[in-house]
Amino acid sequence: MLPRLLAVPVVASLLFMVCLPLSAAQPQTSGTPAGGQVVVGTFVSAGTDPATAVVDLPPPLHRRTLGVDSSADRALLAQARAGDQITISIDAPAAHIAAVSSLRRPITAGQRVTALGGSLLLVLLVGATLRGGSPLAFALGADNRYSNSHTQLLLWFTALIGVYLATLALRVAAFGGDYLGGVAITENLLALSGLSGLSFGGAKIITSQKLAALAEDPPAVPATPAPPTTPATPAAPAVRPPNLKTTADKPRLLRDLVTNDLGQADIGDFQMILLVLIAVVLFLLKSYHWLGLLPLADEVTLPDVDEALLASFGIGHGAYLIKKAAQEPGRG
């Protein structure tokens, strides 16, 4: 009986999911725009007397010459270029533009790659200059190993600042110097940046407190038996106190990020650095796609990261810090 009862809402939900896109996909059969209809088209040209805009609209509307009544919309369209994507609300039957929702300028793939690549390279060059060599030096810890907390902060900071600078450069190149600035970030990006900084600071505090505690109360060292009085014997080798941080001979990037000081695989380090890499790659790819149609507006907001990625990022960093606090120095 219970499986049959459960089948009813499941079937109803499936039918709703199938019918909803079918109903939404019904095309506009009339060639006359409906009142208040919001459409996305391509800007062709603008007239001044009277104020009009020629716009290529999706079928069956096709190319239309529409009146522009709003002074704000006329000022915005005066900056438009042929080929810009325009989102408008059409007031029928007068066939006037009731409102311009957005105006976006296409940016070529080459321009986006140049802007993003140049901005990321600029951040790394500044870092290399400040460190007198390689920007990877920012990722090194005091033990001459690549630190996970340092590396994740370096990766996320470089990606965020790189996208910000690329957006600034493309806005100025596309719209002019009046559009320098005006780039905001979302709450999720702000939260993700805060988690990255918190993980960096928290790891520093945990390591410092552990080393300070060891310095005040070092682990007991097994006593060396006294040698016999008559025959001379070689002195027993010194015993190093366990669980103290050691310094690596040289840093090894891939190995250091997924193992502890003893060379053992560390799942806490691995999952944290993997989640950071996923977040950075997805944010860069999403930014590349978003920059393809750059909004003509006084202020724009960088593309957001989804809630699932933000939650995974936070859980990964939390697990990393808890693991680091629970284990001995060199093992966490």
My answer on whether 39 and 127 are in the same domain is no
Q: Evaluate whether 316 touches 271 at the Cβ level (below 8 Å).
A: yes
CATH of the domain at 57: 2.40.50.140
Residue 3 included in any domain: no
My answer on whether 97 and 206 are in the same domain is no
My answer on whether 163 and 295 are in the same domain is yes
My answer on whether 94 and 191 are in the same domain is no
**Neighbouring residues of 63: CB distance < 8 A, sequence distance ≥ 6:** 44, 54, 55, 56, 57
Domain around 36: 31-104
Spell out the per-residue pLDDT of the chain, length 332, in tens: 434 433 433 334 433 343 434 333 344 434 555 556 899 999 999 988 789 999 999 998 889 999 998 999 999 999 999 999 999 998 875 588 999 999 999 999 999 999 999 999 999 999 999 887 788 899 998 888 899 999 999 999 999 999 999 999 999 999 999 999 999 999 999 999 999 999 988 888 888 887 777 677 665 555 555 566 555 555 555 554 555 567 888 888 889 999 988 888 989 899 999 999 999 999 999 999 999 999 999 999 999 999 999 999 999 999 988 988 887 765 65
Residue 56 included in any domain: yes
Q: Considering the entire predicted model, what is its pTM?
A: 0.77
Q: Which of 63, 82, 104 is the last residue of a domain?
A: 104
Q: Which of 82, 104, 126 is the last residue of a domain?
A: 104
Residues written for the chain: 332
Domain count, the chain: 2
Q: Which residues pair with 96 in a beta bridge?
A: 67, 91
My answer on whether 50 and 148 are in the same domain is no
My answer on whether 94 and 168 are in the same domain is no
My answer on whether 139 and 38 are in the same domain is no
My answer on whether 123 and 188 are in the same domain is yes
Residue 2 included in any domain: no
My answer on whether 63 and 119 are in the same domain is no
> Is the bond preceding 218 in cis, omega lying within 30 degrees of 0?
no
